[in-house]
Structure 1
Amino acid sequence: MGVVVDPGVPAEIAGLLRANAALLSRIRAGWVPPPTTPPSRRRNPSSALLLAATPLVIALMAVLLASQAAAAGFVLLGAYVFIVLVKIASISETPEDERPHERGVYERARWYDGRYLLPEDFDQEAAQVLARAQRAIGSVLRSHVNAEGLLDDARNAVMLPAQEWEIARLLAKLSALRLEHRDLLARGIAPEVAAVIEPLERALVNSEAAVVARVEALERYAGHVAEAERAFHARGQIEELRARLPRYEELLAESGADRLAVTEIERLAEDADVLERTLRRSVASAHEAFRYLES
């Protein structure tokens, strides 16, 4: 389970948030990236020293080249050029801590605070419930019957992510309240307070049951879609076989065995009709389950 993002967040920003769960956790814990410095303002002490030493090196080379130690002057010149080239190469590489990526994630995390949830926002029970919802939603959105428009793919694309966010938001609230409740119980409860605690515990249990009911509705919808998916694939295979029938019939006629295959060929056509009806029923059931989710 990764980062869950409000479907109202722009897709590009949502993708950035989902891809940086670990960084978002650090930001949540109070980490702040160092400010980025424009390239024109970056100062490097070694560069300044190198620049200051240039006149001295040139003067020394001129003296050496004019004397009997001309070879030493050429060596000095080569060494100096090498050092300059190495320095230019090192300057051209932007250090990791100066790259703007972390700053960009930080700024967007602050701007969209409250519109994304991290794995640590859910206790174990809530994470399991959310994973069930995400599996159901994913199976529907990835199905061929949805892609082919046999379901209401446009409404699925809008409503199912909204359902995921709403379920995640409720589960995160439930997790936080359960943690506070457990901490309270761990400190010890006076007998006089027990009567107040009991209805609060019932509220937690009933809230969880309501969220689980939503997830079960999603799972029923996904089950109907899976049924339609199986019928869709089987129908496609039958149609493919029916398209090949003329070649089989030709072969049987030429071999004199056509009278033996008439029944099997007729059964193939009947199977295609049965699968067509099954697919229609499965899609109709999925539509009914979808309408239940909207209520």
Structure 2
Amino acid sequence: MLRANAPLLSRIRAGWVPPAGVPAERRRRSPSSVALLATTPVIIAAMAVLLETAIAPVGFILLGAFVFVVLVKIASINEVPEHHRPHEREVYERARRFEGRFLLPGDFDEQAARVLGRAQRAVGSVLRSHVNAEGLLDDTRNAVMLPEQEWEIARLLAKLSALRTEHRELIDRGIAPEVEAVVQPLENALTNSEAAVVARVEALERYAGHVAEAERAYHARSQIELLRARLPRYEELLAESGADALAVPEIERLAQDADDVERALRRSVSSAHEAFRYLES
């Protein structure tokens, strides 16, 4: 829910509060509203009679007042009731519950947003892979550790963005010569912190790269298994046509390819496991 409502969360963080829900008994249209709408044609007809008599000015005043009342009442009837916005209230309550445990796009400067995007793409590619879904990787640890890695990277990047923005504002205002000696170590701290976060992202990307290799091998193995399942039909056709002797080398090559792909898949999965252990360190 929070991921799908980032713009609404930005408004909530800025101080916007959705209206509270309205009890069901107060949601029904009031009897006065119904009576006003029902008697409107009668009153307008009466006003028309008054306009044709000698007291026409009074009729104009009464008609104008009545039209004003009707318009105000209709506006209140057509206003979107507060109880029609339960989704906003639910997001608000959830945001309050998890305050401090989610971040928004506005928390990241452009540089940090690019680094976070790299981390999210790496995490997403692993979690969406078939080798992960099939349990060839440690899918349980992936489901727990990778979101934790994503959150930790995002948290550090948000903090880095805030400090970097404050630092730029300080520099833009101009600094005294006496302060320049202090500024350089602070800039080094920002640079080194960013490099450490980028190193974590690169580790994620390496892991995702190994998983991608395993994914390619997995799909190749699936295709070869499909072809091997069809081999008897091809062999039968070749035997019936008298061309089976020519097909033996090709069949043997297919079997060899299957063995090669299987070994490649195992190597890729093993490499992915090694890369994952590096993430844990």
- Normalising by structure 1, report the TM-score: 0.78
Match of 1:21 in 2: 6
The Cα shift of 1:108 comes to: 1.7
Counterpart residue type for residue 269 of structure 1: A
Off by >6 Å, runs of 4+ in structure 1: 52-55
Structure 2 residue identity aligned to 1:21: A
Displacement, 1:54?
Answer: 8.6
1:220-239, aligned counterparts within 5 Å? 220-239=206-225
CA shift at 1:50, angstroms?
Answer: 4.1
CA deviations on 1:226-284 (whole Å, 9 max, x unpaired) are 00000010011111111111111111111111111111110000000000000000000
Gaps of 5+ in 1: 1-15, 58-86
Per the TM alignment, residue 35 of structure 1 is displaced from its structure 2 partner at its CA by 2.8
Given the alignment of the two structures, is residue 124 of structure 1 paired with residue 132 of structure 2, yes or no? Answer: no
CA distance 1:230–1:94, shift in 2 (3 Å): farther
Deviates further, 100-109 or 22-31: 100-109
Q: 2:184 pairs with 198, 203, 216, which one?
A: 198
Report how many residues are paired. 247
For residues 53 and 110 of structure 1, the distance between their equivalents in structure 2, rounded to whole angstroms, comes to: 42
C-alpha contact 2:213 2:268 (8 A) present in aligned 1: yes
TM-score (norm 2): 0.82
Q: Please, what is the CA RMSD of the aligned residues?
A: 2.4
Query: Within the alignment, does 1:294 sit opposite 2:266 as a pair?
Result: no
Q: Distance in 1 between matches of 2:141 and 2:115?
A: 23
In the TM superposition, what whole-angstrom CA distance separates every residue of 1:122-169 from its partner, at most 9, and x where no partner exists?
A: 000100000000000000000000001000000000000000000000
- Tell me if 1:171 matches 2:157: yes
Report what 1:185 is aligned to: 171
Decide which of 259, 264, 273 is 2:259's aligned counterpart: 273
Secondary structure of the residue that 2:169 maps to in structure 1?
helix
Give secondary structure in 2 for the equivalent of 1:150.
coil
SS at match of 1:30: coil
Q: Deviations over 1:97-118 (max 9, x none)?
A: 4322222211221221100000
Partner of 1:112: 98
Residue identity over aligned pairs, in percent, reads 77
Question: Are the structure 2 counterparts of residues 144 and 254 from structure 1 closer, same or farther at C-alpha, using a change threshold of 3 Å?
Answer: same
